[in-house]
Structure 1
Amino acid sequence: MLNHRRGGLEIFHLPIKTQGRSAENEILNALGVTNKLVEENKIDTIVMTRGGGSKEDLIVFNSEKVVRALHGLSKPTIVAIGHERDVTLSELVADVRAATPSQAAEMVSQSSAEILQMIEKILLNCKSLTQARGKSYLGFCEQITNRMMMVLRMGLQEQRQTLNKADQYLRGVFYQLRNRVSYHLENIKIQVCIW
């Protein structure tokens, strides 16, 4: 089914016993191998499936050790155990529960047409979002520019006021100095004339 929907997928298949005394250890060993493949970045998604059976046949998928090991995996997990009506703890801790193994295969192997549709939809959303964000950023930039201009104008007004005050002060000091110098020069002239 996987190759029919979309070829080019590399599949690591770990066949194990899923019922009987050795089932729990085989599942745990398979999850350990899977974890090593995850650490080596060799897999993107983990799918654990088992066809139908009685509740007793599926009991190993309710094992605490199996559930904890499955939950501890760092990649997305899809679990499909038994028939659609059967629900195990392993399915509940998985990232996604598939009703059947076939549905799990469909989930990980979208057809090329579906992928292209999804990419087109994402691109359209990105374009719309970019345009909306662009307008939003443009408005934001205009607001910042206007605020900066206002701050600059206010700063210039304050600087003008400060310069005017400094000019008035310096003019006052200059007039005082000129008056004192004139006074002293007059005194010197008077003293020179007296001699």
Structure 2
Amino acid sequence: MNGRRLPAAGLPALTLAVGELVALLRSLIEEDPRLARVGVVGELSGVKQHTSGHWYFLLKDARAQLRAVLFRREAARLSFRPRDGQMVVAWGRVGVFERDGQTQLYVDALEPLGEGAAFLELEALKRRLEAEGLFNRPKRPLPLLPRAVGVVTSAAGAAIADIRTVIGRRYPGMPVVLRPVLVQGEGAPAAIAEAVRWFSQAPEAARVDVLIVGRGGGSREDLMAFNREEVVRAVAESRIPVIAAVGHEIDSTLTDLAADVRAPTPSAAAELAVPERARLEALVEGLAARARRALERRLAADRRHWQAWAGHGLLRRPARLLEARLLQLERLTERGRQALERRLERERARLERVRSVLMALDPARVLARGYAVVREADSGRPVGARQIRTGAWYRVEWVDGGRAMQAGPPEEGNE
């Protein structure tokens, strides 16, 4: 270690290079026997497993946080899978990672204690909002072609740059309206919620059809603004369909559950917000071509139809159609005449039967067979032999005439 004295009064008597100071701190910490093996109680946050098998996370409480690493060999002995929000006791040694100048805990054992206070508070909020139906409301469909895209995110972050790049590539000229906000820290939740509400009430010049709300990836603490109730309610109550684009694929917040669509990254949100202009134009051209072909086929079919009618014999000789109708009329007339004759014949036969019955009952026909009718002279009432009175006058009628006669005494045996 090379120290140099400064001549100016009031300045430190010793100056060190950065690496020298960090090395000094490392030696002080790692040579302290109290820190060679220590158990640290805290809540896990920002838990990540590297492809190498090592685990990286933060241990935190209400006062501070400490970086920690659990190497693959020690991680293989774990009886549970670490996750954000768990309370644990982490056993290990305290050291300094010289490249970053970071004090961290090199963990060799990890014991779960349950859920941390922040995790339990978040879960309680999630259950309450879910019971209100904020996460189960009908999701609004995204517009096929928005007139403009609204964005609520940091003006200096990578998220807005990614969004503009993707939208510019997919649909050149699509307006992007940014409402810059803080995305982490004490004032972030209020700023994000106010920006979402602003878009719902924006003037016509700033009106958008779809809204992207989000930020780039970060630790669990960095994303906590998107777990705040005021932000979740603002997203759920938005009049504009909302795409949540908070963090990376492994990150998830309550805003994701309240949004109409969740995108794994800001770039993916931009892809969901606008179509590819070239593909859309190709689709429109394809539909227009199909419509033209369909119209041409319909016109050709109609043309063939009318040409067939124009060439039909009936249209070339209209009298033929009239001839067929006249022939049909003659047939119907003949059928009617024949039916009428059959009806008249049946009526004639019936009348003949009635006439025969009447003739059989005619008294004149009976007289013609040699019979006579005897009537009282004064009343004309027919009488029988037992009704004739001796000395009375009667009229006897035959078929060819009648005479008045006076009745004599009855013959013997006819009394």
Q: Shorter chain as normaliser: what TM range? A: 0.5 to 0.7
Distance (whole Å) between structure 1 residues aligned to residue 173 and residue 217 of structure 2: 29
Percent sequence identity over matched residues? 38
Q: Deviations over 1:54-90 (max 9, x none)?
A: 0111011111111011100122111110111101110
Q: Deviations over 1:118-157 (max 9, x none)?
A: 5468777xx99xxxxxxxxxxxxxxxxxxxxxxxxxxxxx
Aligned residues: CA RMSD: 2.5
Aligned pairs for 1:1-195 (under 5 A) are 1=165, 2-37=167-202, 42-119=207-284
Q: Deviations over 1:155-176 (max 9, x none)?
A: xxxxxxxxxxxxxxxxxxxxxx
CA 1:41/1:21 → structure 2, altered by over 3 Å: closer, same or farther? Answer: closer
CA 1:45/1:121 → structure 2, altered by over 3 Å: closer, same or farther? Answer: farther
- Write the letter of the residue equivalent to 1:73: S
| Matched length | 127
Instruction: Give the match for residue 99 of structure 2.
Output: none
Instruction: Give the match for residue 171 of structure 1.
Output: none
Distance (whole Å) between structure 2 residues aligned to residue 39 and residue 72 of structure 1: 20
8 Å CA contact retained: 2:190, 2:230: no
**Cα displacement (A) at 1:109:** 2.4
CA 1:98/1:38 → structure 2, altered by over 3 Å: closer, same or farther? Answer: farther
Distance (whole Å) between structure 2 residues aligned to residue 97 and residue 120 of structure 1: 31
Distance (whole Å) between structure 2 residues aligned to residue 71 and residue 39 of structure 1: 22
The structure richer in helix per residue is 1
Distance (whole Å) between structure 1 residues aligned to residue 254 and residue 203 of structure 2: 22
The structure richer in strand per residue is 2
8 Å CA contact retained: 1:62, 1:89: yes
Distance (whole Å) between structure 2 residues aligned to residue 71 and residue 40 of structure 1: 24
Distance (whole Å) between structure 1 residues aligned to residue 287 and residue 250 of structure 2: 34
Distance (whole Å) between structure 2 residues aligned to residue 104 and residue 121 of structure 1: 27
**Cα displacement (A) at 1:32:** 2.2
Higher relative contact order (CA 8 A, sep 6+): 1
In the alignment, structure 2 segments of 5+ residues that lack a partner are: 1-164, 295-415
Of structures 1 and 2, the larger Rg is shown by 2
- 4+ runs deviating over 3 angstroms: 38-41, 116-124
Distance (whole Å) between structure 2 residues aligned to residue 43 and residue 93 of structure 1: 19
- Write the letter of the residue equivalent to 2:251: D
Distance (whole Å) between structure 1 residues aligned to residue 241 and residue 169 of structure 2: 23
Instruction: Give the match for residue 138 of structure 1.
Output: none
Report which stretch shifted further, 62-71 or 107-116. 107-116
8 Å CA contact retained: 1:38, 1:74: no
CA 1:41/1:122 → structure 2, altered by over 3 Å: closer, same or farther? Answer: farther
